[in-house]
Structure 1
Amino acid sequence: MMKILIADDEKYDRETVKHIIKENFLGELEIYEAKNGREAIELSESIRPDIVIIDIKMPGIDGIQALKEMTATLPNLYSIILTAYDYFDFALEAVKINVKEYLLKPFTKEEIIEKIAVGIKWVKKEQEKRKSEIKDKEKIYTLLPVLENQLSDLIINDKLKGVDYGMYLQCLDMSFMNSYAMVISIKDKYAYKDISRVERDQIRIKIGEYVKEYINRRYKCIGNYVFYEELTYFIQIDNEETEDFKSLEIDLAFNLRREIKKRFNISIRAGLGEIFDSVEQIVESYRQAMKCLVYNSDNVNIIYIDDIEGKLMNDSFSGGISGDTKLGKNKNSNKIKMKLFESVKQFIRENIETELELEKVASNFGLSVYYFSRTFKEVTGINFSEYVNKCRIDVAKELLSTGEMNVKEVCYKVGYNDPNYFSKVFKKYEGVSPANFKGNMEEKIF
């Protein structure tokens, strides 16, 4: 049933209109009434009428001002204005707020019936139009995932040639300007290690959906993660304020890896291709991302194509240097390395309370993850994660020795989030639990 609001400061006029409506539109209209503009506005917010009959001249907020407020939240409101005067100024204002009809007082019964009947017909037509629009949108939303998978498949399998993909781009609202491929593989460890194939498929799809939702908070993207082992995303960065797209890519992948580990207890690796400016070129970005994933990366989990290509070039360059020349270069190189990695070790010590990921630290010093990982082990004799753990435990021993903090406080102070895991790592390096270590130190003091 439609709702009609009668707003008039004259009670007699309200009663007259109400009587005509009841007599001629029984069962079609639910009637509400207001005696001034303020009441009309307040009532319209709660009942959301379909039709309003409102007097222009009312005390306080007049009919025109009231309609301005009402149509701001009810753009499809069918409005009929009542006036005792045929004011031209009011007519101009009425046009601005899309008033549909007007009645001059005194009005006849027939005029009221005619105007309301037209209003009912208009509202019904608008309601049908709205239903049709919703159905069309529903069809489009149902079709979008299909189009997304189809376009992703065409890119993944390099079958864009000869395909009219304009419709895909239009429906998915993608231009592929400033776009790149991210391919994610799930590592065979933690919660993923000892589950069945069916369970793996289920959790892969859940992670795939989560990643897509996470990316869409900031960027446009399409994804394909249902029928492939890897989770593939083509991401469009609509950000012209920066030219450092590589940092944006690495930061996004780094944050995703952290959130997936936290939410699903699953570890991932991500391969990242270069930024390109068309859907045809994104095929190359996908190839690069896949190349990153299959490359032997030691314990590097966020791999950008430049890191791989840079490493290959460095390796082949080193291999081509003759004996004496290579020896001289190595001496200078070793001095630079030692100096640089003293700064790296200092950085780790100063930031021990934070989450120290290899990718982030390498980026902080402007180094590729491969060069950083390999050279760090060359300089220190151990890999990066091992060094960070040893450094955390050394700081933890210092803090426990002072007796000013309890074990839990020390755990968080040196960058661990789980006191149980902290105790496990501490015992691995020191042979005793942190609690026992603290107790032994206190006994020595006394």
Structure 2
Amino acid sequence: MYKILIADDEGIVRESLKFIIDKDFNDCEVYLAKSGRQAIELAEEHRPDIALLDIQMPGINGLSALREIRSIEPHIRALILTAFDNFDYAKEALELGATDYIMKPIERKKITEELTKLIHDIDMERQKRKDDLNIREKMEAVVPIIENGFVLSLIIQNEYGYSGTQYRSLLNLTEEYGFITVFEWGEGFEKEAPGNPVGASVRAQKFAAQMSGQIRIFFKAYLSDMMGNKLIAAIPWTSADMGYTERLRMIERMRSLVTSLKEMVGVDFKAGIGSVQPWSTMIDSYQEALNALRHGMRKVTHIDDLMVRNDAAKQQANLRRTMLEVLRRGDEAGTRREAEMLLAWYMDTRNSTEADAQMALLEILLEGCRIASEQGKSVQSQAGKELLQASTPEEMRQIFTTAVLQLVRDIAAQAPKQNSVIQLAKEYIQNNFTSELSLEKTAQQVNISPYYFSKLFKEETGTNFSDYLTGLRIQKARELLRKDPDRNIKEISIEAGYSNPNYFSRIFKKCTGMTPTELRDILKSGGDTEHPSGE
């Protein structure tokens, strides 16, 4: 079917052209207009393929009508009809995209030839569009296979060098960098493990297409097939690094995605995010994403929020630090888990020799003994000597595991749990609370997101950041007043971290039950202020 619009103010011209079209062409639907305005209205209603427009019509002329019609239907093919041999008209018609400029009186042969060419062009365009759709349909069936192959080439050791570049070419992937996100789902999460992973995996399979589509709404992503209750996404990035602010925005977007996936599938989701890497070393980002997923306390965790990095030299230091952190907290389950990871890393001959592994494990044992000693536990262990005498990797593994589990039990019996990140934050607050300080600034100092830091701080300290900071500042102000009751309240306010003395006085009274001035008067009179009534 070809839709043809004829616009001419002469009825005989309109009817003659319709007669020619009806006789010489099949499967054409013709619409007649006697003015430019009516031509525009018919074009808007019927979206014609071809327009035959007279220039001289009452009201809106043919050229103005063509301009409006092209805004409605940009691909329309137009023939301009006129009785005036005017170069300016012809030039404007061609600039507006008219195919040709036909002089009246119109010859049947001429109009038939022009329409035949236009219909041929339309047929060619329609066939091309059909072929493109067929190719797209076939590609849509093949692209998931290519994407899965690409993701697997990134996470399998040495595989990218063989096939990664070819996959990138097929996917038209121009970015040089990216990062890995691992999604995991289950019926709730207990001790970092998903509940009923098999059942959740079966349920998610029913939503596989919708899940893929949802992920692509939030990110440009190349996805693996579902791997049980996990799915891996390779997300391109434009630069070799991700700034702090960019990371926060990305995490918030990922959080929204995870929430939408939960609503879609009806099970709980978590996401672990690795750091930005070149494609050739994306396996490092994958390992980081797994670590973030395994250690993360929230539904979305970036590796930088854990301070556990999996790149060569840093990995060794951070594995060691994480091992000592769980020891210091008295976390037996965490110690067992981290010991397994640490031993796996050291026993891999790519990372260290057997002699290096022995010395590194010995250093960790000695540091663990020091931690136990600091917390009041006297440790006398032969494990260090036995470790140096071990003759096989398996013997080293057994001695080390037994020793650290005994250490963590001793430490758990002596000391409360701590979190090294929050400890660092508390030290930073202690050193800076008298200056301008915010939750966001402190979170950035320990390199985790404000959202994650706020939750972690409350869980570890039992109070929120704002109340903790206020407590330190008011305590400082009280100490200053006790030391010198004659000091100016404004000076004390500033030294305690408050630039506004009036605000300082209100907060002081809220916390202590009295104003700074009232406390000063009591101090001058020799009263006891160690336990004011407001506390």
For Structure 1 versus Structure 2, the TM-score category normalised by the shorter chain is 0.5 to 0.7
- By relative contact order (CA 8 Å, sep 6+), the higher-ranking structure is 1
Cα deviation, residue 270, structure 1: 2.2
Cα deviation, residue 223, structure 1: 1.3
Instruction: Say if 2:299 is the partner of 1:304.
Output: no
Measured in 2, the distance between the counterparts of 1:251 and 1:82 equals 60
2:386 paired residue number? none
Measured in 2, the distance between the counterparts of 1:256 and 1:316 equals 34
1:131 paired residue number? 130
1:270 paired residue number? 271
- Normalised by the length of structure 1, the TM-score is 0.67
2:204 paired residue number? 204
Q: 1:31 is paired with a residue of what secondary structure? A: strand
2:321 paired residue number? 313
Measured in 2, the distance between the counterparts of 1:362 and 1:238 equals 28
Measured in 2, the distance between the counterparts of 1:174 and 1:118 equals 40
1:59 paired residue number? 58
1:7 paired residue number? 7
Listed one character per residue, the Cα deviations across residues 112-138 of structure 1 (whole Å, up to 9, x for unaligned) are: 222222222222222222222222222
Measured in 2, the distance between the counterparts of 1:229 and 1:221 equals 18
Which amino acid is 2:255 matched to? F
Deviates more, 1:6-15 or 1:173-182: 173-182
Measured in 1, the distance between the counterparts of 2:429 and 2:456 equals 14
Deviates more, 1:155-164 or 1:7-16: 155-164
Measured in 1, the distance between the counterparts of 2:250 and 2:158 equals 26
2:279 paired residue number? 279
Does the 8 A contact of 1:183 with 1:231 survive in 2?
Answer: yes
Q: 1:217 is paired with a residue of what secondary structure? A: helix
Deviates more, 1:218-227 or 1:28-37: 218-227
Equivalent positions of 1:116-265 (< 5 A) are 116-177=115-176, 179-189=178-188, 193=195, 197=198, 200-205=200-205, 209-237=209-237, 243-244=243-244, 245-265=246-266
- The unaligned stretches of length 5 or more in structure 1 are 342-359, 385-446
Cα deviation, residue 212, structure 1: 3.7
Does the 8 A contact of 1:83 with 1:105 survive in 2?
Answer: yes
Measured in 2, the distance between the counterparts of 1:107 and 1:187 equals 75
Does the 8 A contact of 1:8 with 1:36 survive in 2?
Answer: yes
Which amino acid is 2:54 matched to? D
Listed one character per residue, the Cα deviations across residues 41-73 of structure 1 (whole Å, up to 9, x for unaligned) are: 111122121221111111222111211222233
Q: 2:67 is paired with a residue of what secondary structure? A: helix
Measured in 2, the distance between the counterparts of 1:258 and 1:166 equals 34
Measured in 2, the distance between the counterparts of 1:61 and 1:80 equals 17
Q: 2:4 is paired with a residue of what secondary structure? A: strand
Does the 8 A contact of 1:20 with 1:109 survive in 2?
Answer: yes
User: RMSD of aligned C-alpha atoms?
Assistant: 4.1
Does the 8 A contact of 2:53 with 2:81 survive in 1?
Answer: yes
Does the 8 A contact of 2:54 with 2:82 survive in 1?
Answer: yes
In 2 relative to 1, CA 11–303 (structure 1 residues): closer, same or farther, beyond 3 Å?
same
2:94 paired residue number? 95
Q: 1:85 is paired with a residue of what secondary structure? A: coil
Measured in 2, the distance between the counterparts of 1:29 and 1:240 equals 58
Query: Larger Rg: 1 or 2?
Result: 2
2:24 paired residue number? 24
Listed one character per residue, the Cα deviations across residues 246-301 of structure 1 (whole Å, up to 9, x for unaligned) are: 3234323333343344444422332211112x321322111211233344x5x444
Listed one character per residue, the Cα deviations across residues 188-243 of structure 1 (whole Å, up to 9, x for unaligned) are: 438x8569x4x533423356555543342343111124244421111234699982
2:83 paired residue number? 84
Listed one character per residue, the Cα deviations across residues 345-390 of structure 1 (whole Å, up to 9, x for unaligned) are: xxxxxxxxxxxxxxx999589565999888766644x9x9xxxxxx
1:37 paired residue number? 36
Cα deviation, residue 12, structure 1: 1.5
Q: 2:88 is paired with a residue of what secondary structure? A: helix
In 2 relative to 1, CA 361–312 (structure 1 residues): closer, same or farther, beyond 3 Å?
farther
Does the 8 A contact of 1:273 with 1:285 survive in 2?
Answer: yes
Measured in 1, the distance between the counterparts of 2:84 and 2:139 equals 50
Which amino acid is 1:313 matched to? R
Which amino acid is 1:248 matched to? R
Measured in 2, the distance between the counterparts of 1:91 and 1:240 equals 55
Does the 8 A contact of 2:222 with 2:233 survive in 1?
Answer: yes
Cα deviation, residue 338, structure 1: 9.5
In 2 relative to 1, CA 209–238 (structure 1 residues): closer, same or farther, beyond 3 Å?
farther
Percent of aligned positions with the same letter in both sequences?
A: 26
Does the 8 A contact of 1:219 with 1:238 survive in 2?
Answer: no
Does the 8 A contact of 1:292 with 1:305 survive in 2?
Answer: yes
1:46 paired residue number? 45
Which amino acid is 1:86 matched to? D
